[in-house]
Chain A
């Protein structure tokens, strides 16, 4: 019995050595599996990239307040009065400049989208526009100007996130874009570390209220909590004040939800395509390995006649299948990484606006790809392996080499 591992090793190596005579079929299995892994790597890298961008955009210690019953920043149903009341509630972090009274880190904002032409694609897409005040940067420490300067209040100016500037045509420094028939000058670009915020463009909130005829209504209030745990305190205060009726979201939760719905479709497509391609790959592998076993009939019969038991034969076939699929999977994942990792794309973010993200081919994705390849190889090799075991010595010796 302790001969068994040696037998297995010997037969498997013998099998792999004869692989070259089956190079055509082997190549097809390899390519088929590489193809599946390549496509799935692309699709899931897309979903991952979008999810990462959206998820990293939300902070645990930031809160998003929307109008009552709202789930999207599109709905402008917060009044300025409400904003003033909220500013006085407990749990909100305050900026402490020496020698001044602390100012609550709260930004009352407007939100809209503007359909602008895309830079590298035909058609138009939604650029998220945010009407902000001075507090916007304070609430969002991750946002920094990279070019030009910040907005001056009351001016028809706009600052653009780097990702937005890449996505849309006509958002370079010094360019003018027309919103609602009014020209706005691009005076600066900002970065937000790859977060969704970088896909936005900001205007002065009062100017926007005027031009977009919003009256005294706001879309969102964003504020920084003293600590992530302060959320409960704040929420209770809002619920108990009858003048307020707002929906309260921890920013990280809000974006997590966004990312789920956006990536769900991608995941469904990925899984569907993956299953269909995997079935094809399994059929190809079965075909190839049945042929391989058939070609090796005489050789297997000789081995059995010599005295090898069935187990090493079976294992050798599985080894062939697994080796081919492993290489195929690795190839597909590597190709996917080479082609897609870091590729920029935009997709639907919140509220019919576009968010820019990069494809993310993570190590876990590569591992999943290889595991899938091995799974396909196992399924494709199992039946042929069992058939190899059933080759009768007499018949096999009689068959042509």
Chain B
């Protein structure tokens, strides 16, 4: 027998009620675990700690291009270790369903800058040597049943081929990834080949990738790069890769508002459900508490007991809820690579702990008051 047993007794007096409350709370905390990290992601925009790569995009429009010469200028910016580029190829593969991203990239600089793409050295060699080489990610290979050596035909939309109605490539490798941020559905083709045969736009690229020396300030370097091209015909916007992805997500709508609405409703429900269950339990157990007081338990002790029960109750719901949300996010990232970067980190955990404490304390305010006013004799008389 110890204090913990006494505390549990309070919770398990009505196991059904405790379990159902746990279910309500778990579903609420599940939403907190899913939505709060997303909210944080948008709040933490511009955070430049630990950034090793930048993306330089045309300032004014997603439909614009940058001249490849920008890369030379950027290479000269202090703090820049390497530069590469990528160009959106587009077009249609087979019947156009299950579409995936297609990029033209330079063999020598792109893959060294993206070590999280796992590619055999044989494939890398082949990509460099063979002009019509292409590589695809594991997911696309699986989806279409592609093997090394297959021919891939892409019907162009933006980039007609000077000499043919379609572009033909040879699959020389299938890449895997060492982290969640890599798009395993993408296809990469040789920029040199693409540049030579495209009907227009020679020397134009979609984005310039920048690899940074360690210890530099990503924010400062970004500003410097953009300053170099300010007021030119091809102005740039440089950002970390994560902020770049966020920029797309922001286009979906005022996500912050919607998440706040949902979280607000959820938090309100959590507080109400907890307070109600605790209050209900109290009402039924006043006599039990009177007996404890008669036995010699101090008033404060009973109040602490109720507080402990409330905390345990909320935790009983919070822990599974948060756990399941972490699992769901892991699973979700399999299917939606854009979700990468969302996990339950220290901020979310801290917020959850605070939430648990606040909810439990609010829930025991009234019961604690009742315990304060508990008149032993009156309560016992009611039996």
| A, B bound | yes
Residues of chain B within 8 A (CB-CB) of A181 are: 231-233, 235
Residues of chain B within 8 A (CB-CB) of A74 are: 62-63, 158
The stretch of A186-194, A274-282, A307-315 in contact with B is A274-282
Q: Are A179 and B269 in contact (CB under 8 A)?
A: no
B196 at interface by CB-CB < 8 Å: no
Q: Are A77 and B157 in contact (CB under 8 A)?
A: yes
Residues of chain A within 8 A (CB-CB) of B23 are: 279-280, 283
Q: How large is the interface on B (under 10, 10 to 19, 20 to 34, 35 or more residues)?
A: 35 or more
A374 at interface by CB-CB < 8 Å: no
B265 at interface by CB-CB < 8 Å: yes
Q: Are A42 and B62 in contact (CB under 8 A)?
A: no
A353 → chain B closest CB, angstroms: 8
A354 at interface by CB-CB < 8 Å: yes
Roughly how many angstroms separate A38 CA and B262 CA in the complex, as a whole number? 9
Residues of chain A within 8 A (CB-CB) of B232 are: 181
How many cross-chain pairs have Cβ atoms below 8 Å apart between A and B? 153
Q: Are B17 and A287 in contact (CB under 8 A)?
A: yes
Q: Are A28 and B272 in contact (CB under 8 A)?
A: yes
B268 at interface by CB-CB < 8 Å: yes
Residues of chain B within 8 A (CB-CB) of A71 are: 96, 157
Interface residues of B in 217-244 (CB under 8 A from A): 231-233, 235, 237
Q: Are B247 and A123 in contact (CB under 8 A)?
A: yes
Residues of chain A within 8 A (CB-CB) of B156 are: 69
Scan B339-359; emit 1 where CB is below 8 A from any A CB, else 0: 000000000000000000000
Q: Are B258 and A46 in contact (CB under 8 A)?
A: yes
Q: Are B262 and A352 in contact (CB under 8 A)?
A: no
Residues of chain A within 8 A (CB-CB) of B158 are: 70, 74-77
Q: Are B251 and A24 in contact (CB under 8 A)?
A: no
Q: Are B265 and A286 in contact (CB under 8 A)?
A: no
Residues of chain B within 8 A (CB-CB) of A114 are: 60-61
Tell which of A39, A179, A217 touches B262, judged by Cβ atoms closer than 8 Å.
Answer: A39
B31 → chain A closest CB, angstroms: 6
A256 at interface by CB-CB < 8 Å: no
Scan A34-75; emit 1 where CB is below 8 A from any B CB, else 0: 011011001100100000000000000000000111110011
A235 at interface by CB-CB < 8 Å: no
A242 → chain B closest CB, angstroms: 12
Tell which of B200, B248, B253, B279 touches A46, judged by Cβ atoms closer than 8 Å.
Answer: B253
A345 at interface by CB-CB < 8 Å: yes
Scan A316-346; emit 1 where CB is below 8 A from any B CB, else 0: 0000000000000000000000000000011
Residues of chain B within 8 A (CB-CB) of A243 are: none
Residues of chain A within 8 A (CB-CB) of B26 are: 280
A291 at interface by CB-CB < 8 Å: yes
Tell which of A46, A76, A112 touches B61, judged by Cβ atoms closer than 8 Å.
Answer: A112
B48 at interface by CB-CB < 8 Å: no
Q: Are A32 and B233 in contact (CB under 8 A)?
A: no
A259 at interface by CB-CB < 8 Å: no
Q: Are A283 and B157 in contact (CB under 8 A)?
A: no
Roughly how many angstroms separate A280 CA and B277 CA in the complex, as a whole number? 14
Residues of chain A within 8 A (CB-CB) of B30 are: 276
Return the chain A residue nearest B22 by Cβ.
A283
A263 → chain B closest CB, angstroms: 11
Roughly how many angstroms separate A46 CA and B272 CA in the complex, as a whole number? 27
Q: Are B251 and A115 in contact (CB under 8 A)?
A: no
B308 at interface by CB-CB < 8 Å: no
Which of B30, B233, B280 has the largest number of chain A CB atoms within 10 A?
Answer: B280
Scan B180-221; emit 1 where CB is below 8 A from any A CB, else 0: 000000000000000000001000000000000000000000
Q: Are A31 and B251 in contact (CB under 8 A)?
A: no
Roughly how many angstroms separate A331 CA and B4 CA in the complex, as a whole number? 41
Return the chain B residue nearest A336 by Cβ.
B261
Q: Are B266 and A277 in contact (CB under 8 A)?
A: yes
Q: Are A352 and B251 in contact (CB under 8 A)?
A: yes
B252 at interface by CB-CB < 8 Å: yes
B76 → chain A closest CB, angstroms: 23
B20 at interface by CB-CB < 8 Å: yes
Residues of chain A within 8 A (CB-CB) of B28 are: 277, 280
Q: A32-B272, A115-B60, A181-B235 are in contact. Are A347 and B253 (CB under 8 A)?
A: yes
Residues of chain B within 8 A (CB-CB) of A287 are: 16-17, 20-21, 24, 277
B307 at interface by CB-CB < 8 Å: no
Q: Are B250 and A123 in contact (CB under 8 A)?
A: yes
Tell which of A32, A126, A180, A217 touches B62, judged by Cβ atoms closer than 8 Å.
Answer: A126
B20 → chain A closest CB, angstroms: 4
Scan B84-114; emit 1 where CB is below 8 A from any A CB, else 0: 0000001110001000000000000000000
A2 at interface by CB-CB < 8 Å: no
Q: A74-B63, A126-B251, A273-B262 are in contact. Are A283 and B20 (CB under 8 A)?
A: yes
Residues of chain A within 8 A (CB-CB) of B273 are: 28, 32, 284
Residues of chain A within 8 A (CB-CB) of B266 are: 35, 277
A265 at interface by CB-CB < 8 Å: yes
Q: Are A276 and B27 in contact (CB under 8 A)?
A: yes
Residues of chain B within 8 A (CB-CB) of A129 are: 61
Q: A126-B251, A283-B24 are in contact. Are A31 and B61 (CB under 8 A)?
A: no
B301 at interface by CB-CB < 8 Å: no
Roughly how many angstroms separate A276 CA and B235 CA in the complex, as a whole number? 46
Q: Are B247 and A345 in contact (CB under 8 A)?
A: no
Q: Are B62 and A121 in contact (CB under 8 A)?
A: no
Q: A114-B61, A126-B251, A347-B253 are in contact. Are A75 and B157 (CB under 8 A)?
A: yes
Q: Are A115 and B31 in contact (CB under 8 A)?
A: no
Interface residues of A in 5-40 (CB under 8 A from B): 24-25, 27-28, 31-32, 35-36, 38-39
Q: A39-B265, A69-B92, A121-B254 are in contact. Are A28 and B231 (CB under 8 A)?
A: no
Residues of chain A within 8 A (CB-CB) of B21 are: 283, 287
Roughly how many angstroms separate A31 CA and B276 CA in the complex, as a whole number? 12
A126 → chain B closest CB, angstroms: 6
B258 → chain A closest CB, angstroms: 7
B160 at interface by CB-CB < 8 Å: yes
Q: Are A39 and B261 in contact (CB under 8 A)?
A: yes
Residues of chain B within 8 A (CB-CB) of A393 are: none
Q: Are A42 and B277 in contact (CB under 8 A)?
A: no
B227 → chain A closest CB, angstroms: 15
Q: Are B27 and A280 in contact (CB under 8 A)?
A: yes
Residues of chain A within 8 A (CB-CB) of B125 are: none
Q: A32-B269, A38-B265, A46-B253 are in contact. Are A180 and B31 (CB under 8 A)?
A: no
Return 7 A-B CB contacts under 8 Å, by A number. Answer: A27-B272, A27-B276, A35-B269, A43-B262, A77-B158, A277-B31, A352-B251
**Contacts beyond the supplied A69-B155, A124-B247, A346-B254: 14 A-B pairs with Cβ under 8 Å:** A31-B272, A32-B24, A43-B262, A69-B156, A70-B157, A77-B158, A122-B45, A273-B262, A277-B28, A283-B21, A283-B23, A284-B24, A347-B252, A348-B253
Which 8 A-B pairs rank lowest in CB-CB distance, beginning with the nearest? Answer: A280-B27, A283-B23, A287-B20, A347-B253, A35-B265, A283-B24, A28-B276, A69-B157
